[in-house]
A and B are shown apart, each in its own frame.
Chain A
Amino acid sequence: MLSPERLALPDYEYLAQRHVLTYMEDAVCQLLENREDISQYGIARFFTEYFNSVCQGTHILFREFSFVQATPHNRVSFLRAFWRCFRTVGKNGDLLTMKEYHCLLQLLCPDFPLELTQKAARIVLMDDAMDCLMSFSDFLFAFQIQFYYSEFLDSVAAIYEDLLSGKNPNTVIVPTSSSGQHRQRPALGEAGMLEGVEASLFYQCLENLCDRHKYSCPPPALVKEALSNVQRLTFYGFLMALSKHHGINQALGALPDKGDLMHDPAMDEELERLLLPFFRLAQVPGLVNSITASPEASCLPSRTPPRVGSPWRPLHHSRKVDGESDGSTEETDESET
């Protein structure tokens, strides 16, 4: 934290880089908006709650899109919130259309743009029929890449177009300008027959891009890894590779690994509590054929009181949660796989 490079930047830029100002502005704005309500219980408390929620990642809930995409941390929080809220949909096994996923996104962010969802869907469907059904995990990982790295992806798309048409974007900063020398194009026949662009050249351009720009990019090493075993690739192929790459997912830190996507013991616990009254009603014989093992419903171990606003811990700690109710989580796991 107390690194010398921190002091190298002028003050304002330092604050901007860490997005401190974004949060400060937003906090003050919220304060202004809800002046009457907040003044009742104190401004200090408000600020405490606000920054607590920022830390926990709940600050983006039901906020407008411009805020949700303002900072990387916001984006990560949003992804995580989406995962937590709708993991159950994925667990149920339903395949949904792009429009329906967009609907779910809009439940959390009312003005989320359709464009982004469409782009994410294109990654999954490889730019094919847009009405196809997608699984929750496919969509979620693709969406993660699209949403978190959206600006990066826009530039990559431009680079790809340039490469396809034979121009060398290494010499240009903004892909639309055409200054700089052109490399010798490969034999025309060869280029025409093969799909996509050459992987290594592509990677070089990406590396330059990452160096130049200040918005977040995936770690270049991981990108290189993703491109390592292919000669040529298409744009959507590249994105698909990114979305499936575990390393990048972990580097982002928003979502668990694909294998663990459906597991969230804390939330499952909460869910069981919510379903309790329904199962009590269902004790009438013949009324319900149990979706989960109903005997368990009646002999639930005594629960710890609900954790309100459980702190958002880094992923590698998540499994250590709920040490005491290990028994029940194992059982629910069995019944749900």
Chain B
Amino acid sequence: MGIPPEREDVKQQVLYLSQITMKSHLLESPISKCPLYLACHHLKTERIQRDWERQGDAGSEGQKLTVCPIINGEDHLRLLNFQHNFITRIQNISNLQKLISLDLYDNQIEEISGLSTLRCLRVLLLGKNRIKKISNLENLKSLDVLDLHGNQITKIENINHLCELRVLNLARNFLSHVDNLNGLDSLTELNLRHNQITFVRDVDNLPCLQHLFLSFNNISSFDSVSCLADSSSLSDITFDGNPIAQESWYKHTVLQNMMQLRQLDMKRITEEERRMASVLAKKEEEKKRESHKQSLLKEKKRLTINNVARQWDLQQQRVANIATNEDRKDSDSAQDPCQIDGSTLSAFPEETGPLDSGLNNALQGLSVIDTYLVEVDGDTLSLYGSGALESLDRNWSVQTAGMITTVSFTFIEFDEIVHVLPKLKIKFPNSLHLKFKETNLVMLQQFNALAQLRRVDQLTIDPQGNPVVNFTLWKYYVLFRLSHFSMQKINGTEVTQNDMIMAERLFGILAHVASSELPQYRLISILGDARKKQFRYLLESKGKKPGIINEENNDSKRLVGENTNRATLNYTTRDFYNEKLEEIKEKKKFCKTYIEDLVKEATEINMKNEALQKLWPQMFIELVRDAVIEIRNKNSYMKLCLQQITDQK
């Protein structure tokens, strides 16, 4: 159904317009603002209304067009207006090859088609339709204004050839992102309000773009619109109604990144604002850098500790294998450290987001991950890994060292810690709380080693890696052996008088036996050993200075002052003990041979003695017999004796 031929005059008036290119703000229904157009529009409805009234048809709804009417003999037509109809398809206009403006606002068009002959078209208004896809605009190379607002478009495409396009309106569509804008070399205004846009790209490829409207979309970070910073032509932008506009850093981030802007969210940008923005942005940068550094440090620390833990595990399993001689364990345990290894390394990249890529790179650049870690945190000194023990040799400032009240050892063999206890005593005189975790405390004896410290108020032995905690009596033994410290807390629980009494009750006799029943020389030798060891360490650490000797004397005095009846309960690390036994072997061998010689001598003498005992009676008889025989003849005997005497002279 078309316009009946008798309405020809109406048609003429409505359709006939001067050759004007439209220039206007593309808001909701832009063309309606143009006065000339408005006049035509009104004219159209008025005239049609009048004529319909004449015809006696009052209702306007039923009179709307459902198809584009065939227009004959109007090949010079410049402007065509089919607003507010029910047109579903663009057709029957291919002969209007001089058309400059086509207005199909508010119809039911589902597809852009039928425009391929309109090579002169400058203005195409397809707002408020049902268009799902931008297509079939290939021949419209002169297009100046394209209005597709209020449709169902999901993707920007097929417009890259529109190099004269100045105004593009895609408001109120279903766009989720913006890209594919290259080729629009004349575009000055882009309206993308009321979509679902999350990120914007390619805007920096638009050399003339001045106005960009992104209100009421889904932009939440400046990174997703980062290309805007590179667009030097952009001077006016709106972000209101986006999540990003709610952020505290929104304004100054936008201003800082888009120095070329004159207007934001329809408000002019003042100098003051710009200055504020730059100041705030700098502060943000600082904060980010700081936290970046912090997290870098923390990550490094975490990796180091993981590394130390891994090494510790390997070491323990190696020892366990040697001890138990089970080859099966090897294959099982070998997997575990690898798994730990794998999990730490794989967890790491997952944790980082796009912003932390720098962090990732920096850490992967670390060629050597430390095998130990020393950390000072206020009043706590934490040592991870046996390499950390060497750090006690460093020159600690008196202030730092004086503040340390807690020393924590993790992943270090207790036997190694024992060797550095004298150093600890000297360098950190205020350390009153010792913590041990994963240090292989297996014997009660090992606690004896702690007796050499000046004083310990608190002791924390973490069950992890310290089997000694499984013993029923360990706390009492500690209290007993270190009674001279008057410890306050063990593993967080207060030490009560009852505990002390129980400790004394359980082990008091041991102390008594160890002191009063040992022979004197053993007391001296045992105590002497302890003193000698301490002296040795002092010498090693400070070099031979006369001052040490006094210190050593003081120490020995203090040793005596300590509850001497348990001072003989010492701990020698396994290595030292074996060393000592080795040394003794030589002596033992010597002693053995010496005693053997003695025994030989003694037995020889004994044999000779016995032999003599046996032979003596006989010998005696013979002696007597000889003597009697000699004296038998008195005279001749007298002569013999005198002879002997003269001979002697």
Contact = CB atoms under 8 A, between A and B. Distances in A.
Given A28-B591, A275-B501, A281-B497, A50 B509 contact: no
Q: Label chain B's interface by main secondary structure.
A: helix
B512 A34 contact: no
B513 interface: yes
Interface of B: 443-445, 467-468, 470-473, 497-498, 500-502, 504-514, 516-522, 524-526, 528, 568-569, 572, 577, 581, 584, 587-588, 590-592, 594-595, 598-599, 602-603, 606-607
A99 B599 contact: no
Contacts of A62: 514, 518, 522, 526, 568
A64 interface: yes
Given A29-B588, A87-B509, A282-B497, A37 B528 contact: yes
Contacts of A208: none
Interface stretch (A105-113, A143-151, A187-195): A105-113
B577 A37 contact: no
A217 interface: no
A15 B599 contact: yes
Interface stretch (A78-86, A120-128, A161-169, A243-251): A78-86
A25 interface: yes
A29 B584 contact: yes
Given A88-B506, A103-B445, A33 B587 contact: yes
A116 interface: no
Contacts, number: 161
A92 B505 contact: yes
Contact of B445 (A28, A84, A107): A107
Nearest to A37: B524
Q: Of residues A28, A64, A84, A275, which shows the largest number of chain B Cβ atoms within 10 Å of its Cβ? A: A28
A295 B390 CA distance: 54
Interface string A260-276: 00000001001100110
A291 B498 contact: yes
Nearest to A282: B497
Contact of A99 (B471, B514, B590): B471
Pick the 10 closest A-B CB pairs, nearest first. Answer: A11-B603, A49-B519, A274-B508, A34-B525, A28-B591, A85-B510, A29-B591, A58-B517, A53-B519, A100-B471
A106 B443 contact: yes
A59 to B, nearest CB: 8
A30 interface: yes
A89 interface: yes
Given A58-B517, A111-B581, 6 more contacts: A21-B595, A25-B588, A58-B513, A88-B509, A92-B502, A271-B504
A230 interface: no
A309 B520 CA distance: 11
A16 to B, nearest CB: 9
Contacts of A53: 518-519, 522
A236 interface: no
Contacts of A84: 509, 513
Given A61-B513, A100-B471, A32 B590 contact: yes
A308 B516 contact: yes
A328 interface: no
Contact of B599 (A11, A94, A100, A104): A11
